[in-house]
Amino acid sequence: MTGRMSMMRGALLGLILGALPAASFFASAVSAAELRGTGDLGIVVERAAGRVMVVENSHRRTLASVEGLGDLSHASAVFSRDARYAFVFGRDGGLSKVDLLTATVVKRVQQAGNSIGGAISEDGRLVAVANYEPGGVRVFDADSLDPVADIPAEYGPAGEAGAARPRSKVVGLEDAPGNRFVFSLYDAGEIWIADLSDPAAPAVRKFTGIGRQPYDALVTPDGRHYIAGLFGEDGLAVLDLWNPDKGVRRVLDGYGRGEQPLPVYKMPHLEGWGFADGKVFLPAIGRHEVLVVDATTWQEVGRIAVAGQPVFVMARPDGRQIWVNFALPDNHLVQVLDVPSLAVAATLTPGKGVLHMEFTPRGEQVWVSVRDLDTVRIYDTGSLREVSTLPADKPSGIFFTARAHRIGL
Amino acid sequence: MRSRLPLLAGAVVLLAAAVQAGEPPPSPDPSRPEMSAARRAELGRMLVHDCGSCHGLTMKGGLGAPLLPEGLAGKDPDALAQLVLEGIAGTPMPPWAPLLSRDEARWMIDQLREGRLREGRLREGKRE
């Protein structure tokens, strides 16, 4: 710690000496020696290259690239509470801790064979990863990435003596208040709450029979409700984390009303802010609809017909707009929904392979990754005009450090 | 040059048919004349990125099963192509028939069987 402090002092001194011509300082690219905050930084995943770009959203520019992060298909990231480090979760089970200021990988562990994202605890001390292989959750110390806890997702009745119980793929791993992690077991149809108040001895509470094939989940911005989407049936499972004794309830049950669903070419993603004006906006599975639920009564209050099967349904941080992207064959489009009128306000055509969207912290701009054009497009959310583009190699997830201070992201 | 192409294509089809009559079946020809280079690039990209969303960019598996050559070696490629077209009911594997022809599905299976995705050889649909 002392060493780090003296390093920082040294850097600061170097900065003061080096920055005398102030203009040249501001014009220079970021370096380890440049003193700066991280509140306007983020990463863009270049998934085929196994690399992330470190970006800055104040001036809409790329600062650096960080390589060697493995298979980044479906990669996601969370941030340390000081918003300096990104924890990048790779498909191949790699967990990488990236320093945004020095643009280096400070630590990397190969913690499983196959993974699907993770979360950081509310106190910032623990990073948890959802694993497909071996099915379960592994928890690491956020500083050192040393293993802290292992929670195998075993389910079903105990087999014969010595026979191992099956392990489920884990999805929808979210942080919740109380240093809890909440996640779903895809193969088992269960939701588990793991309380890591004592990291060495996680207390796990299991909810069984929550519905078939939960595929992803979200925690509402207030940290109160955990919502798992079900692939195997029309409906969602909701757990009130203030009242877990009440168990899991089903909402939007049978929203397809027996209609034949369309083929699903890309699983929707729930983790985002589909929460606005007291309502939750959710992607329907196998239909061209965004479902709208009252967040108090959990009754359906509307449906919005959209251009394709929604993948991400994300509210602008102020909740005035919802931005939606789509699965194949409509993945060249983005639609903007008007929240008060529950109507489509605009249809944009960023290009083929729109994979993700990320709002700036207050939402005046949104960054959109367009995989097949190797481009990130940046829109002004007021005028809906494109204000800039950045080149990127097959960009997918975009994550800004504002997530560090949000529950469930 | 242009006028000769259909003839050449016809010859390849005939040749393929002739070989098909006997055993063993022909090794698939990735340069089937009916599929343009642009379409192949598109299919390669689809294979890596859209199939890869569930099966992993390196096809080592994810929500979907691994699609590595060793796992596919003993399986009938036409049956695999059929599976791609029909999907697997009750799982997230969708029927791709609305987006792919039979030949295209078979071409994708061949890429997987031959391990062309390994080490990024087919990355972004670019061929060696």
Q: What is the pLDDT of residues A305-324, one digit of tens each?
A: 999 999 999 999 999 999 99
Residue A300 confidence class, pLDDT cut points 50, 70, 90: very high
Tell me how close the Cα of A71 comes to any Cα of chain B, in angstroms. 7
Of A29-33, A391-395, B105-109, the one with minimum mean pLDDT is A29-33
- C-alpha span between A338 and A358 (Å, rounded): 18
Contacts of B58 in chain A (CB under 8 A): 71, 73, 92
**pLDDT exceeds 90 at position B50:** no
CB contact under 8 A, B62 and A116: yes
Measuring CA to CA, how many Å separate A88 from each of A126, A150, A169, A312, A322? Answer: 14, 19, 19, 20, 26
Residue A61 confidence class, pLDDT cut points 50, 70, 90: very high
Nearest to B71 by CA among B55, B57, B92, B82: B55
- pLDDT at residue A409, as a whole number: 85
pTM: 0.84
- Just give the CATH number of A111-251: 2.130.10.10
Residue B29 confidence class, pLDDT cut points 50, 70, 90: low
> Between A108 and A256, where is the model more confident?
A108
* % of chain A beyond a pLDDT of 90: 77
ipTM over 0.85: no
Work out the average pLDDT over A63-67.
97
Work out the number of other CB atoms within 10 angstroms of the CB of residue B10.
11
- C-alpha span between B6 and A396 (Å, rounded): 41
CB contact under 8 A, B63 and A169: yes
Work out the average pLDDT over B2-27.
40
Q: Render the burial of B50-65: b for 16+ CB within 10 Å, e for the rest.
A: bbbbbbbbbbbbbbbb
Contacts of B63 in chain A (CB under 8 A): 116, 132, 169, 186, 215, 267
Measuring CA to CA, how many Å separate B13 from each of A144, A236, B34, B38? Answer: 61, 51, 10, 21
Work out the number of other CB atoms within 10 angstroms of the CB of residue A245.
6
pLDDT, tens digit, 9 for 90 and up, residues A2-55: 444 444 444 444 444 444 444 444 444 455 456 999 999 999 999 889 999 999
- pLDDT at residue A212, as a whole number: 95
CB contact under 8 A, A263 and B48: no
- C-alpha span between A89 and A170 (Å, rounded): 14
Contacts of A91 in chain B (CB under 8 A): 56-57, 62
Instruction: Tell me which residues of chain A have a C-beta less than 8 Å from any C-beta of chain B.
Output: 47-48, 71-74, 91-92, 113-114, 116, 132-133, 169, 186, 213, 215, 231-232, 263-267, 328-329, 353, 371-372, 394
